[in-house]
């Protein structure tokens, strides 16, 4: 494409062509071509509205709409030649449309600007991405529900500070992630609802004197309503920031789970076995089975967090309305979206394929004096002991067991009574890990009946 053509796109004010460096820094076609489908959808809706309001003739609008479909088919087939000289996806599409249909193509931009056009395209793209993340989150949550259901009553250690705390169930641990990703799903849907206002028709910043029908274009593009302020419509990128914020929190949750899978699949834990599909070997150590997919998910959060910070930094000092700085909004969002979707898919695959090692989980559940709290609770309930005193008595018994290199249930009744005479042999009924988890029947607790109730609730939500 010649410099002259590019200048024609800019208008008659510019006599000289752009310097090569200016052309390179100004062009966005290298990345915003990803919005081709959204750009063409917006232009087809705009053309239909221009005809409905008699701003252009029906024949011109039909030529534009059909020509745009031809352009889309060329792009989808890989036959479209993108030009850096034409700067962006909007100008590339419009230039090709003119080659296809001639003079009517020049009427397509009536009543709009690239400012409201790009805001609309970007919103449509982010909205599509939110829908994709919604589906990926639901798939991951269903995989977690399957794991939870299969091990609703399997005991395992619960941790605080990565130290054994109290026994929980495998199902309860899986359901903790269902809750976390459920909040991510809620954020995605909330962001989608808030961003679903159409900027098209805000024009450059002040609206337009043409009698356009913004309700029509909003409806055609699946928006709930047109945006109410033209200045805000073209300068707003909150929808992209909300997407990145929700993506960052979701990526953090994925990273936390990935960390647990790395730990659990180690030879020291052996809580889970990851499938060969999501593991790799070592070039030198034949015994190794590395949880590389989990490790890469754990690392993806850096890119997604970085995108969030980058766009916040771009937007923080911009006066109203549009500034060219805002061209730097898309690459970060595209990269974050790609990496979030990849991480979600990989985590879903790992969760579906992984096998929990029930014997290892159960053996670890009873280690580290995990039922000490049950002992203290028994002293409060049965011996009518203040909790602080019960805590002290239990701590003394833990020290005794630790010195004898045994666990709490292995202490004799006589040893226990030497610490406090109120202890009876009933205490042994609460020191087993299965009894411990079964007793945690408060709402949201780890008792199998509570876990199964939460599984049923989430199955209904996701149905």
pLDDT at 10 over 60: no
User: 13 or 122, which is more confident?
Assistant: 122
Q: Which of 193, 153, 198, 201 is nearest to 174 (CA)?
A: 153
Q: Does domain 364-462 have CATH number 1.10.40.30?
A: yes
Provide the pLDDT confidence category of residue 1 given band limits of 50, 70 and 90.
very low
Query: Is the domain covering 20-107 a CATH 3.90.1150.10 domain?
Result: no
pLDDT, residue 17, reads: 60
> What does the pLDDT read at residue 27?
75
Q: pLDDT by residue (tens digit) across 149-182?
A: 999 999 999 998 988 888 999 999 999 999 999 9
In angstroms, the CA 2 to CA 17 distance is 9
pLDDT tens, 292-343? 899 999 999 999 999 999 999 999 999 999 999 998 899 999 999 999 999 9
Which of 29-38, 55-64, 203-212 has the least mean pLDDT? 29-38
Quick check: is 186 catalytic? no
pLDDT at 373: 83
237-245 mean pLDDT: 98
- Residue 280's pLDDT band (boundaries 50, 70, 90)? low
Q: Which of 54, 161, 209, 421 is catalytic?
A: 161
Specify the pLDDT at position 11. Answer: 56
Domain boundaries, the chain: 20-107, 114-153+162-363, 364-462
Asked if 282 is an active-site residue, the reply is: yes
> Does 256 have pLDDT greater than 80?
yes
Band of residue 92 on the pLDDT scale cut at 50, 70, 90: very high
What integer best gives the mean pLDDT of the chain?
Answer: 91
Report the range out of 161-175, 365-379, 418-432 with the highest average pLDDT.
161-175
Catalytic, out of 2, 282, 355, 367: 282
pLDDT computed for residue 138 by the predictor: 98
Q: Distance (Å, rounded) from C-alpha 320 to C-alpha 344?
A: 36
Is the CB of residue 307 less than 8 Å from the CB of residue 332? yes
Class of domain 114-153+162-363 as given by CATH = mainly alpha
Does residue 428 have a pLDDT over 50? yes
Give 225's strand partners.
197
pLDDT at 9 over 80: no
Residue 3 confidence class, pLDDT cut points 50, 70, 90: very low
Q: What's residue 374's pLDDT?
A: 80
Mean pLDDT of 81-88: 88
- What average pLDDT does this structure show over 366-370? 74
Q: In whole angstroms, what is the distance from residue 191 CA to residue 97 CA?
A: 34
Could you give the percent of the chain with pLDDT greater than 70?
Answer: 94
Percentage above 90 pLDDT, the chain: 72
């Amino acid at each position: 494409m010649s410099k002259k053509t590019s200048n024609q796109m800019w208008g008659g004010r510019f006599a000289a062509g752009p310097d090569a460096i200016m052309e390179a820094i100004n062009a966005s076609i290298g990345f915003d071509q990803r919005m081709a489908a959204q750009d063409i959808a917006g232009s087809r809706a705009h053309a239909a509205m221009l005809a409905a309001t008699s701003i252009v003739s029906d024949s011109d609008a039909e030529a534009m709409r059909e020509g745009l479909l031809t352009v889309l088919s060329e792009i989808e087939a890989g036959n479209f030649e993108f030009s850096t000289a034409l700067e962006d996806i909007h100008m590339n599409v419009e230039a090709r449309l003119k080659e296809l249909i001639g003079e009517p193509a020049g009427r397509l931009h009536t009543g709009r600007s690239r400012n409201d056009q790009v805001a609309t395209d970007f919103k449509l793209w982010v909205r599509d991405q939110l829908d994709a993340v919604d589906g990926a989150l639901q798939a991951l949550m269903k995989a977690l529900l399957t794991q939870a259901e299969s091990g609703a009553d399997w005991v395992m250690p619960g941790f605080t500070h990565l130290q054994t705390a109290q026994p929980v169930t495998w199902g309860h641990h899986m359901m903790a992630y269902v809750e976390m990703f459920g909040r991510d799903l809620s954020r995605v849907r909330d962001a989608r609802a808030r961003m679903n206002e159409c900027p098209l028709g805000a024009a450059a910043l002040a609206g337009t004197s043409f009698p356009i029908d913004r309700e029509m274009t909003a409806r055609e593009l699946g928006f709930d309503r047109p945006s109410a302020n033209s200045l805000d419509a073209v300068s707003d990128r909150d929808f992209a920031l909300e997407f990145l914020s929700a993506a960052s929190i979701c990526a953090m949750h994925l990273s936390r789970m990935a960390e647990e899978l790395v730990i659990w699949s180690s030879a020291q834990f052996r809580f889970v076995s990851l499938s060969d599909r999501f593991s790799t070997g070592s070039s030198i150590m034949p015994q190794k089975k590395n949880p590389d997919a989990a490790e890469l998910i754990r690392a993806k959060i850096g890119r997604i967090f970085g995108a969030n910070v980058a766009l916040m930094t771009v937007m923080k000092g911009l006066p109203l309305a549009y500034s060219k700085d805002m061209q730097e909004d898309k690459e970060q969002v595209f990269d974050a979206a790609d990496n979030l979707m990849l991480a979600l898919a990989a985590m879903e695959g790992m969760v579906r394929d992984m096998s929990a090692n029930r014997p290892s989980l159960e053996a670890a559940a009873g280690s580290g004096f995990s039922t000490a709290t049950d002992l203290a609770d028994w002293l409060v309930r049965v011996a009518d002991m203040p909790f602080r005193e019960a805590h002290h008595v239990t701590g003394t018994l833990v020290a005794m067991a630790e010195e004898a290199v045994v666990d709490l249930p292995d202490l004799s009744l006589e040893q226990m009574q030497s610490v406090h005479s109120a202890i009876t042999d009933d205490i042994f009924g609460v020191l087993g890990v299965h009894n411990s988890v079964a007793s945690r029947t408060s709402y949201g607790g780890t008792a199998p009946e509570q876990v199964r109730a939460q599984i049923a609730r989430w199955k209904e939500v996701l149905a």
